[in-house]
Structure 1
Amino acid sequence: MKRIALKHFVFSILLFAVVFSQAQVTLESEIKITDLAMYFDGNKVSLNTTTNNPNGYDYVYGRSLTPHGDCIKVYDKFVFLTWYRGGKNDRHVMLTRYNTETETMKTIEFPHQHTGYNGRWWIGETHNTIAVGICPKDETIHMVYDMHRNGNVPAFSNDYLRYSYTTANAATVPDEQFTIDLFVQSPNNNYKHLAFPGINDVNTTKLLTYPAFFTNDQGDLFMKNRFGYSKNGKFLFAKYDGTDWEGYTDFNRMQASSHGSPYNWGLYGDIKYINGKIRIGFQQRAGLNNDKYIYQNGFYYAYSDDPSGLTQWKDHEGTGFTRPLAVSDLIKISEPGDLVTTTEKDKVYMVGGFDWTVTDNNDIHFIGRVKDNSTTSSTAGQTKQVHTYKPAGASNFITTTDFSGAETLYASGDYVYIIGLNSSGRPFVERALGGTNSFTRVYEATSGKRFRKGQVYIKNGRLYYYLLENNSSDSDDTQPTYLQIIDLGIDNGPKSFAVTLITPSDNDSFEEGDIVQLYATATADEGEITKVEFYANNALIGEDNTSPYSLDWTPSTTGIYAIKAKAYKTGGDSIISSEVTIEVTEVDESDLTGDVYRLRNVATGKFLGDEGGSANPVSMNDTGEDTNKHWNFVKTNVGGTDYFNIDSETNGILRATGAGFAPGAYLVVSTGKVAPAGDTDKIWTVHYNETDDTFRFESKDNGRFLYHDASGSVTNISAPETDIRSVWEAISTSESLSITDEALRSPSIKIYPNPARDKFTVAFQNISTIRRVEIYSILGKLVYQNSISKSKQEIESSDFTAGVYIVKAFSDSNKEFHTKLVIK
């Protein structure tokens, strides 16, 4: 089996000169909004607390409700901010509009008050956020209050929604006319409406939570909500077209296990309208009880080409799928949980620090945080900050942990931004060109007020930062809030005629067979860029006539290449970028460092396993999936010669014992020793046979080889190369094994190879008699159906077009089993 070479889908850091060609980031203004923002100054209490603390404002989740959620928007020359006024016995909903031209601030007080947790007004509840949105079609203002599924609470049987909205053109009225009279009165004379005009689905409306607004380029206003629970919930949205609301539209299904998913799942993330498309990014919380994730897992992403979001949903590769989505794996882009070692139940923690955005250039960026909560692993307590991104034009996402971490991520123009508060509580801004990980701090306040938290909104190259001041006192149930307006320094002026090769970088090295991703930016001083050509050693290797300008190129031979880009503009004029030099090196198939492998004996088909402890004989196993069957090769130099330690993922390095070892001669045993180590009996020489891509592992240089003895023991003995009990396959853990290599203990359906080209096999384990197999396209069309009465079925795939398919198998008890098939 051919070992899979690691690919270098690595985009290089952009030259600092490009980054800093942007104008300077500057603070334009700071405006105090109020001294009386409500603040929970008491104690954090349990959800079943009923007592009212006379000495403070107790809370159940967090101290700060303002600013929180979708509480700031910019429309025309106005900034809209929602907040709750304190103290504890006040709690009124407030809406402030700040006029950036006249510097006039007008605030409206509503009759509504913070409802607290499940109606206990004296218990602070940070889910009770106030989302605000403006519809460009009629300039109406809309406000929705998160009641946190209070439709389930008897006290809110007639108060399950707090929706307020204005008459047309209210958003831009003169300052003196901005009053509560702009809002449409409700039947009970408190501006609280129990329905959205046009939507009559009361059962859904009363259980909505996590509201947020966004608009599309057509001027429609959308409202996003979550419905359901953490492990069985859905995102849905509704659209206001300037007349009425339309909805609800479900993105995904609840009870997904009844629609092809192996489990039920819920979502933690957001729906946004960015760069001309409705997009969704989330982590899921699955209804599983025995996996390694205590809460969330995975990064998931999709988008719709339909500005209404009703149709044309696609994964990141542009492959369509039907909505509502049931099988989340169809849009999974990465699994951060695999970046930590533990596989123990409930030990991978991925809460916090998750966000995503997309640049105007269509670079996709996700961030997150994953922690190993194992109590036994050597990496226990390890936290990794994750940045997963896909440069425009690239085929794959890149994941790096060379990232300092952030709570939120934003985009403006072709740049991505990290915006937050430093250790002193003052704002900072970091910026990177989209499609890179090259974040540079471009702004940081070193004096002035300190803040507890903030909420960001970016519009037309300006950062509007809604901030809660840290006044160094937690013994007050009111706090000041401010609005800072920061110019991000995005240069929207005239462009020069220029082309810059962003990747690869000078002196980059690639292995033979690697894909080299070429990526260039180009601007025209007049007219437009018509195409960008890419050259290697002055030979044209490809071109791209649409931005982003990119090319995936696989060099045909090893050697040194000079790479450059050439841009053309209207009229035919051209300009050439600076050259960079890269090297393509021959792949050393015998070098097993840099990856993790399963070692399978060619004669027996069994996998080498480490039984743990020290001096325990190693074992041979039918499966190579468990972590104690995974091996690293660590180079160590002894006497000027390079040898290797064979290092277990779960224990230590292997020792080749001698003739006098008890309980048997020349056994191979585990140790607790850490690599690299130069002990004579713990180093190995790797012998590679390129004819069949196999290996023999010699104990140092003594002529004894790692050997699966007929007795079942693993020894190190003299053996000719023709004795295939001394011959091994090194199979990367990133490579899927065939179905016969996997230990399947529960009912399952598996496909191999997957992805497939000419044919594939559908195989079943621990399932009663299979009656039939059906294969559906991603759009739900039946493309294959056949009866089956055996444990595996080979299927020709020549009639299948490239894409993603769902395979369904039906047992004699009519139970369904599902999995995903990819045809290349």
Structure 2
Amino acid sequence: MNDLKEQTLTNAKIRITYTIKLFAIVLFLLSFKNTFAQKVEFLERSEVTNEGLYFWYPDKNGEKVKAFHYAPSISPRGDCLTVVNGYIFFGWYKGGMKNGRDLMISRKKIGSGKWVTVQLPHKNTLIGPKVNSWGDSHKTISIGVSKTDGTVHVFYDHHNDPLKYIVSKKNTAFAKDSDFKIGMFNKTRGYLAAGQNVTITYPAVTENDKGNLIVNYRKGSAVGGNEMVHVYNGSTSTWSKAKMVIRGSGKGFVETKDRNYAYAPAPVLAGGDLYYGFSVRWARKKADGVLNEGVYVANAGSTMTGAWKDVDGKTQPMPIQDYSPLLIDLPATKDGKGSSGGPSMAVSDKGDIHISYRGRGNDTKYHYTYVRKAGQTEFTKHSGVGKTGIAYGDRIYNTSINKSKGIITIQSTAAGEFKYRNDLVYQTKDTLGSSGVRLVDGNLVVIAEDRGDTKTDSQGIFSYVFKISDDNVSTPPPTSGDITASWYKVKNVSTGRFLQGVPSSTVIQTNTGQSGYDKQWRLVRTGTGSYFNIDNRKASNSNSSGMLAEGANNTIVGTQTEPVKFQSDKQWSVISLGNNIYQFKLKKNNRFLSQNSSNKGVLVTSGSANTTKWQLIATSTALSKTSEKENILQTDDITTVAVYPNPARSSFNISLKGITKADISISNMLGKLIYKNTTTSGTLEIINEEKFAPGIYLINVVGDGKSYQRKLVIE
């Protein structure tokens, strides 16, 4: 392996633009209101605990007492947070340097309920002297959840140490709160695959589109480590044996002078594949204080255990040892000291790639962002700013925190571009510290420590949840109360034919008739995001279609199963085109639901044809007598139904203008029905009485043959 300085940029695909961009953030302290495009909204704030661990000792004789190695924050830190099926899972250590440090696992359903916490009989291990031992912030918690068998996987307290791993019993992850308890977790063990005990550093757990869990970690030292991978199969509830995917050491393979380790954050899932971005730390440069150099990226496939490719699709020999084909750039750093971490990366499902790399220190001159739009062959380099985020839909979302002021700012840019806009600036009540961020199914979750009291080893930890509606993913059409309780006729714009369920899981077809439950469909949220199952009204049995899913040769079939299902071949995004016209795009491959010349349901790559456009007609809405092809939903008069005050706290009013009798239902953002009533009054006052937790609610009013929807914010 050649020295990085000896490598050239011959293999790097990069177009450099040395324009330093200054991003001025105008802080409008909006709380719940957003004057920008209505894409991001605050959903809820909750306290996880008031006793999270912080490495700190009281001063002694007026002098500070060392309490930590590397950093004082440990909860949250690392891969300790995940969001699955609308639940937040968070691993943390209990406060108290001497009597605390217990391993804790907490869970909360987004939009409802409280945090449920399990205290496991294990502790974070201190290092250093026997008296006033130090905390080691490398010894983080990593957590993963299997959708397939409902197991919770916990890795904890590692820094080149024997594995400490706990897995729960099956169906624990999504059990009711009263069943989420210590008895559901098995004892700590030192192996994943039976008979293969491992030593581990920096484990990261990622779920792919197939429902597998992938854990990757370092085996070996910081300047001579190999990257190892195991895959968890939820169908068999077993881990594969370790596979080396990157070789940085090994007698007979890597000379002593060339030992190294490829430092990387957790891999990024996009379009069914995991992308791995890393920088290299060389053993021979350790004495000079040089850390992680270069920006390298690979497509590691769906499990990281098969063939890896460079960003242009060329397959590389495994395990990866020659990094040069994966090189994007060798950015300059202050005094040539490299970076303290690896590059951050976001990749869209279409293949847009965003990478940021920050040299050591605070000088932004040595911060860089690389962007390559899907279909292009070169990266554009932006010097003076290192900024990426998390891909969702067709945008990249960046979350930044002004810790001392307690401000969370969410910005986004179109994937493949570098034009960030402010989506939301949220003023918290807290002084924030270390944090973790996840964006899953439209839920952006921030977990942060409260540093209001700086002289403590036991502090608060808070959760903030924001709802994102992507530019190309709309919320579903109007519903009555619970989103799963409304049914629609789905009519093709081009042919006027109605989507029809058929028995025995055969290909879905369309029909000119519009009556019957086999032509009625509902949209059911999967988790809490902007993906849905599309479900037929007939009962799910051998004589019905059940949910829509991908079949052979780009056909659409029925699954004969009930929602909710989380496989990507059964999840659809709903794209609003206006006038009650929608498109449905499959999560698995971004193909559109369409109708072919044989009146069969099929998937197509382009959404330009009218055969990919569908009108949703509520079953409670009468069809026009004139022409079946001209049926439309009745329009909503915004002056008919008003909600005030909004935002509200203890009470609010619903004004009904010209409606003699109305059925009113109020649901939270998960579709859960919170309130239901029928009134003949012109104004209805609703007293909160703790029914409505702080957050966003959808009000549905049905009266005199029309349906009206309003949004309500409870502070």
TM-score, scaled relative to structure 1: 0.51
Q: Is the 8 A contact 1:144 1:211 kept in 2?
A: yes
User: CA separation in 1, counterparts of 2:405 and 2:169?
Assistant: 43
Q: Is the 8 A contact 2:277 2:342 kept in 1?
A: no
Q: 1:214 deviation in Å?
A: 0.9
Q: Which residue of 2 aligns with 1:364?
A: 353
Structure 1 residue 251 and structure 2 residue 228: aligned? no
Q: Which residue of 1 aligns with 2:47?
A: 32
Once the two structures are superposed, what CA deviation does each residue of 1:73-104 show, in whole Å capped at 9, x if it has no partner?
11223211111111122211111111235412
Q: Is the 8 A contact 2:434 2:449 kept in 1?
A: yes
Q: Which residue of 2 aligns with 1:296?
A: 292
Paired residue type of 1:360: D
| Structure-2 change in CA distance of 1:494 and 1:100 (3 Å) | closer
Q: Is the 8 A contact 1:421 1:453 kept in 2?
A: no
Q: Is the 8 A contact 1:215 1:273 kept in 2?
A: no
Once the two structures are superposed, what CA deviation does each residue of 1:756-791 show, in whole Å capped at 9, x if it has no partner?
xxxxxxxxxxxxxxxxxxxxxxxxxxxxxxxxxxxx
Q: Which residue of 2 aligns with 1:476?
A: 456
Q: 1:258 deviation in Å?
A: 5.0
Structure 1 residue 238 and structure 2 residue 230: aligned? yes
Once the two structures are superposed, what CA deviation does each residue of 1:718-750 show, in whole Å capped at 9, x if it has no partner?
xxxxxxxxxxxxxxxxxxxxxxxxxxxxxxxxx
Structure 1 residue 117 and structure 2 residue 134: aligned? no
User: CA separation in 2, counterparts of 1:125 and 1:103?
Assistant: 34
Structure 1 residue 287 and structure 2 residue 280: aligned? no
User: CA separation in 2, counterparts of 1:75 and 1:372?
Assistant: 35
The structure showing larger relative contact order (alpha-carbon pairs under 8 Å, at least 6 residues apart) is 2
Once the two structures are superposed, what CA deviation does each residue of 1:498-520 show, in whole Å capped at 9, x if it has no partner?
xxxxxxxxxxxxxxxxxxxxxxx
Unaligned 5+ segments in structure 2 are 1-9, 22-33, 477-492, 494-574, 592-605, 614-715
Q: Give the secondary structure class of the aligned counterpart of 1:349.
A: coil
| Structure-2 change in CA distance of 1:298 and 1:257 (3 Å) | farther
Paired residue type of 1:147: H
Q: 1:289 deviation in Å?
A: 3.8
Once the two structures are superposed, what CA deviation does each residue of 1:579-618 show, in whole Å capped at 9, x if it has no partner?
xxxxxxxxxxxxxxxxxxxxxxxxxxxxxxxxxxxxxxxx
Q: Which residue of 2 aligns with 1:627?
A: none
Once the two structures are superposed, what CA deviation does each residue of 1:614-663 show, in whole Å capped at 9, x if it has no partner?
xxxxxxxxxxxxxxxxxxxxxxxxxxxxxxxxxxxxxxxxxxxxxxxxxx
- When the two chains are superposed, the root-mean-square deviation of aligned CA atoms in Å is 3.9
**Larger displacement relative to structure 2 (353-362 or 106-115):** 353-362
Q: 1:326 deviation in Å?
A: 0.9
User: CA separation in 2, counterparts of 1:568 and 1:216?
Assistant: 26
Q: Is the 8 A contact 1:134 1:140 kept in 2?
A: yes
One of 76, 84, 98 as aligned partner of 2:85: 76
Unaligned 5+ segments in structure 1 are 14-18, 45-50, 151-159, 185-190, 374-380, 498-521, 530-544, 548-566, 575-824
Q: Give the secondary structure class of the aligned counterpart of 1:493.
A: coil
Paired residue type of 1:570: A
One of 478, 483, 490 as aligned partner of 2:470: 490
Q: Give the secondary structure class of the aligned counterpart of 2:178.
A: helix
What stretches of structure 1 move > 4 A for 4+ residues in a row? 6-13, 19-22, 53-57, 118-121, 256-262, 290-293, 522-529, 571-574
Q: Which residue of 1 aligns with 2:331?
A: 336
Q: Which residue of 2 aligns with 1:319?
A: 314
| Structure-2 change in CA distance of 1:104 and 1:384 (3 Å) | same
Q: Which residue of 2 aligns with 1:163?
A: 165
Q: Is the 8 A contact 2:365 2:383 kept in 1?
A: no
Q: 1:527 deviation in Å?
A: 6.5
| Structure-2 change in CA distance of 1:27 and 1:281 (3 Å) | same
User: CA separation in 2, counterparts of 1:356 and 1:214?
Assistant: 15
Q: 1:348 deviation in Å?
A: 3.5
Q: 1:166 deviation in Å?
A: 1.0
User: CA separation in 2, counterparts of 1:568 and 1:21?
Assistant: 28
Structure 1 residue 417 and structure 2 residue 397: aligned? yes
Once the two structures are superposed, what CA deviation does each residue of 1:254-299 show, in whole Å capped at 9, x if it has no partner?
3379548893221211342412102211111123349998211100
Q: 1:573 deviation in Å?
A: 11
Once the two structures are superposed, what CA deviation does each residue of 1:51-81 show, in whole Å capped at 9, x if it has no partner?
9x99967111111100111111112232111
Q: Give the secondary structure class of the aligned counterpart of 2:57.
A: coil
TM-score, scaled relative to structure 2: 0.59
Structure 1 residue 456 and structure 2 residue 437: aligned? yes
One of 108, 115, 124 as aligned partner of 1:105: 115
User: CA separation in 1, counterparts of 2:43 and 2:120?
Assistant: 31
Structure 1 residue 569 and structure 2 residue 608: aligned? yes
Once the two structures are superposed, what CA deviation does each residue of 1:421-459 show, in whole Å capped at 9, x if it has no partner?
125232111211111111222222235222012101111
User: CA separation in 2, counterparts of 1:20 and 1:248?
Assistant: 50
Q: 1:414 deviation in Å?
A: 1.5
Once the two structures are superposed, what CA deviation does each residue of 1:285-332 show, in whole Å capped at 9, x if it has no partner?
123349998211100110133x23322310001010121011111211
Structure 1 residue 389 and structure 2 residue 383: aligned? no
Q: Is the 8 A contact 1:161 1:192 kept in 2?
A: no
Q: Which residue of 1 aligns with 2:677?
A: none
User: CA separation in 2, counterparts of 1:211 and 1:119?
Assistant: 27
Q: Is the 8 A contact 2:138 2:159 kept in 1?
A: yes
| Structure-2 change in CA distance of 1:279 and 1:8 (3 Å) | closer
Q: Is the 8 A contact 1:27 1:487 kept in 2?
A: yes
Paired residue type of 1:62: A
Q: 1:223 deviation in Å?
A: 1.3
Once the two structures are superposed, what CA deviation does each residue of 1:15-57 show, in whole Å capped at 9, x if it has no partner?
xxxx99953422211001111111112389xxxxxx9x99967
| Structure-2 change in CA distance of 1:442 and 1:395 (3 Å) | same
Q: Which residue of 1 aligns with 2:74?
A: 65
One of 207, 214, 234 as aligned partner of 1:222: 214
| Structure-2 change in CA distance of 1:109 and 1:20 (3 Å) | same
Q: Which residue of 1 aligns with 2:191?
A: 195
Q: 1:8 deviation in Å?
A: 6.7
User: CA separation in 2, counterparts of 1:570 and 1:393?
Assistant: 22
Q: Give the secondary structure class of the aligned counterpart of 1:181.
A: helix
Q: Is the 8 A contact 1:43 1:57 kept in 2?
A: no
Q: How does 1:619-698 map to 2 (within 5 A)?
A: none
| Structure-2 change in CA distance of 1:268 and 1:9 (3 Å) | closer
User: CA separation in 2, counterparts of 1:176 and 1:95?
Assistant: 14
One of 190, 198, 209 as aligned partner of 2:201: 209
Q: How does 1:773-792 map to 2 (within 5 A)?
A: none
Q: Is the 8 A contact 1:527 1:569 kept in 2?
A: no
| Structure-2 change in CA distance of 1:444 and 1:249 (3 Å) | same
Number of residue pairs matched?
465
Percent pairwise identity = 22
Paired residue type of 1:222: I
User: CA separation in 1, counterparts of 2:293 and 2:66?
Assistant: 34
Q: Give the secondary structure class of the aligned counterpart of 1:383.
A: helix
Q: Which residue of 1 aligns with 2:407?
A: 426
Q: Is the 8 A contact 1:43 1:59 kept in 2?
A: no
Q: 1:570 deviation in Å?
A: 2.3
Q: 1:128 deviation in Å?
A: 1.6
Q: Give the secondary structure class of the aligned counterpart of 2:211.
A: coil
Q: How does 1:88-99 map to 2 (within 5 A)?
A: 88=97, 89-99=99-109
User: CA separation in 2, counterparts of 1:95 and 1:442?
Assistant: 32
Q: Which residue of 1 aligns with 2:304?
A: 309
| Structure-2 change in CA distance of 1:168 and 1:327 (3 Å) | same
